[in-house]
Amino acid sequence: MLDNSQYIEKLRSSGLRPTKQRIKICEVLFNSEKTFHFTINELVKRISKSTNEKISLATVYNTVHAFKNKGYLKEIPINSDQSYFDTNTSHHHHFYDETQKDLIDIDDADVEPVKINTRIPGKKIKSVEVLVKVEDDKS
Amino acid sequence: MLDNSQYIEKLRSSGLRPTKQRIKICEVLFNSEKTFHFTINELVKRISKSTNEKISLATVYNTVHAFKNKGYLKEIPINSDQSYFDTNTSHHHHFYDETQKDLIDIDDADVEPVKINTRIPGKKIKSVEVLVKVEDDKS
DNA sequence: TCAACAGTTTAGAACTATTATAATGTAGAA
DNA sequence: TTCTACATTATAATAGTTCTAAACTGTTGA
Ligand SMILES: [Mn+2]
Ligand SMILES: [Mn+2]
Ligand SMILES: [Zn+2]
Ligand SMILES: [Zn+2]
């Protein structure tokens, strides 16, 4: 399969050997037209739907963390209930719909650059992320 | 004690009766000169240090959540390991020092207003929060 | 060809933050 | 004082995540 070569490369560069379980995880994560947000549980469900053989939770966690560390996935801090991940690794911000419990990308072009006029000595900025919480407008 | 009347009011308006355990929690949370960030575990330690009698974990959780719901505390999403809370309820943003695992306030005056040029139909904005992750600058 | 080995998957256990439970305690009203 | 509603507490339950150790697999090289 031609497509798999991309997955194999992603896995190798994350320090993982390309096994069939891991390639299946890649297919679910990176084969879709659009990027998406997910929790581990949601990802496991997606994987179950798209294959007969099941992949253990430990393998899913390990692979997701390796990709996150390599930068192929981002973790989005929303609350302390569960980890949210994002297959969109470009710089962008988020709406979080508290009614639907849904994360929505904000196109980076739709946000004016965030200017912070103070620094912490000896520290450098790794990321600047905006989280806009929204709820149903009943007015 | 004169000071306690403020705590009693905070408790009553949060739907809680002013008991001695809850007033002790208020003292630790709201008596300090400066505002601060904390996890539940850190709060429990602070309480232990400042009193002989111990207060059960359940009471701490319940009281913190009531204050959060009422708006006397804010929850700051950092990661999924633990909940971070903030006694500073004014509008402000944060540095998160990934090296020290430390949350630091950014004075609201030091951040230009965040402009978002898109909306979600039928939703209204509840909050806009900026999280700036920093790490040691070894350069 | 196939034994040895390094790395992988897996089920399940362990861990930890959080929430629920249910028995006991307590502040105030009557 | 007695009654009652609510609080506190220890402890259990829950759930997300990480760890473990045994079975498995793919590759190497004798
Ligand atoms: Mn929460
Ligand atoms: Mn995390
Ligand atoms: Zn996103
Ligand atoms: Zn703060």
| Domain assignments of chain A as residue spans, ordered by start | 5-76, 90-134
User: Could you list which residues have their CB under 5 Å from ion ligand 1?
Assistant: A 79-80
- pTM score above 0.75: yes
Assess whether B22 (CB) lies less than 7 A from strand D.
Answer: yes
Whether residues A134 and B120 touch (CB distance < 8 A) is answered with yes
pLDDT of residue A93: 97
Q: Which of A82, A95, A117 sits opposite B120 (nearest CB)?
A: A95
Q: Mapping DSSP to helix (H, G, I), strand (E, B) and coil, where does residue B130 land?
A: strand
- Return the pLDDT at A1: 44
Query: Å from B16 (CA) to C21 (C1')?
Result: 20
What is the rounded average pLDDT for all residues in chain A? Answer: 93
B116 with A111: Cβ contact below 8 A: yes
Cβ of B105 under 8 Å from any chain A Cβ? no
Closest CA to A120 of B37, B77, B34, B98: B98
Cβ–Cβ below 8 Å for A79 and B77: yes
Q: pLDDT band at B38, cuts 50/70/90?
A: very high
pLDDT: which is higher, A117 or A100: A117
Q: What is the mean pLDDT of residues A96-111?
A: 93
Residue B33 pLDDT greater than 60, yes or no? yes
State which fold the B5-76 domain adopts.
Arc Repressor Mutant, subunit A (1.10.10)
Q: Note the pLDDT of residue A47.
A: 96
Q: Confidence band (pLDDT; 50, 70, 90) for A29?
A: very high
What is d(CA B135, CA A125) in angstroms, rounded to the nearest whole number?
7
A77 C-alpha to ligand 2 centroid (Å): 8
- On chain A, the residues whose CB falls within 8 A of the CB of B130 are 114, 116, 128-130
Amino acid at A116: I
Using the Cβ of B77 and the Cβ atoms of chain A, whether some distance falls under 8 Å is answered with yes
pLDDT in tens, B82-129: 999 999 999 999 999 998 889 999 999 999 999 999 999 999 999 999
Residues of A in contact with B37 (CB under 8 A): none
Helix (H) or strand (E) holding B61: helix B57-70
Cα angle B15, B21, B27 (rounded to 5 degrees) comes to 90
- Residues B50 and B27 sit within 8 Å (Cβ to Cβ): yes
Q: Residue B108 CB: number of other CB atoms within 10 A?
A: 11
pLDDT tens per residue, range A49-100? 999 888 999 999 999 999 999 999 999 999 878 999 999 999 999 999 988 8
